């Protein structure tokens, strides 16, 4: 597994960004958002893999494929965030740091959009910052990776110290 590989999963209708409801989602296309993410990823030594699908099962398959190959996930499950127990279960099973992103502020929208099932399986949620949310998600994961590495280093040092003490 690449310790800095991040899978970016985009849910249904996000392939229509820049075309659909620009008053809600803005004018940037999904490709433009991904290009901007590449810059942030490069600055933080993160390798990105992008995936978009309108199909729930394909999103679940991709999450499952991330196990053992990725260090974290950025996901915008879009409408599935409000309805999909199956995606939520797949995210839990992945057991990775996960940052959920929503371009619009879901808490200022229709009542049915204000609850995210998938957020329950996420490390954190970024909502309402437009495409900037993806940048914030990558910065968050970079920080989480640093914390994980520091924790692992401390554990290894403690283990080595204990082994030396036992050997005496």
Evaluate if residue 86 carries a pLDDT over 90.
Answer: yes
pTM, two decimals, is 0.90
Superfamily for domain range 5-167: Dehydroquinase, class II (3.40.50.9100)
Per-residue pLDDT of 133-160, as tens digits, reads 999 999 999 999 999 989 988 988 888 8
Q: Does 25 qualify as catalytic in the annotation?
A: yes
107 is known as an active-site residue = no
* 111 Cβ contact list (under 8 Å, min separation 6): none
Burial label, 82 (beta-carbon count in 10 A; 0-12, 13-18, 19+): middle
- Computed over its alpha carbons, how large is the radius of gyration of the chain? 18
Residue 17 has pLDDT above 60, yes or no: yes
Task: Give the pair of three-digit tokens for residue 167.
Answer: 């050997």
Tell me the pLDDT band of 118, cut-offs 50, 70 and 90.
very high
Alpha carbons 4 and 20: distance in angstroms, whole number: 33
Q: Which of 25, 34, 80, 135 is catalytic?
A: 25
Q: What is the pLDDT of residues 122-133, one digit of tens each?
A: 999 999 999 999
What DSSP string runs through 37-81?
HHHHHHHTT-EEEEEE-S-HHHHHHHHHHTTTT-SEEEEE-GGGG
Domain boundaries, the chain: 5-167
95: left (phi over 0), alpha (psi -120 to 50) or beta: left
Residue of 34, 102, 134, 135 marked catalytic: 102
28's tokens: 């940037």
């Amino acid at each position: 597994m690449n310790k800095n590989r991040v899978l970016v999963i985009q849910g249904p209708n996000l392939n229509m960004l820049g075309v659909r409801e620009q008053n809600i989602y803005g004018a940037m296309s999904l490709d433009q958002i991904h290009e901007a993410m590449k810059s942030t990823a490069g600055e933080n030594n993160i390798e990105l893999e992008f995936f978009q699908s309108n199909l729930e099962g394909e999103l679940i398959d991709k999450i499952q494929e991330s196990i053992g190959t990725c260090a974290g996930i950025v996901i915008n499950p879009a409408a599935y965030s409000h309805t999909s127990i199956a995606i939520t279960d797949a995210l839990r099973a992945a057991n990775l740091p996960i940052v959920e992103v929503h371009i619009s502020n879901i808490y200022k929208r229709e009542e049915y959009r204000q609850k995210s099932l998938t957020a329950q399986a996420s490390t954190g949620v970024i909502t309402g910052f437009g495409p900037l949310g993806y940048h914030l998600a990558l910065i968050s994961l970079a920080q989480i990776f640093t914390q994980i590495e520091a924790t692992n280093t401390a554990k290894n040092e403690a283990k080595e110290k204990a082994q030396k003490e036992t050997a005496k």
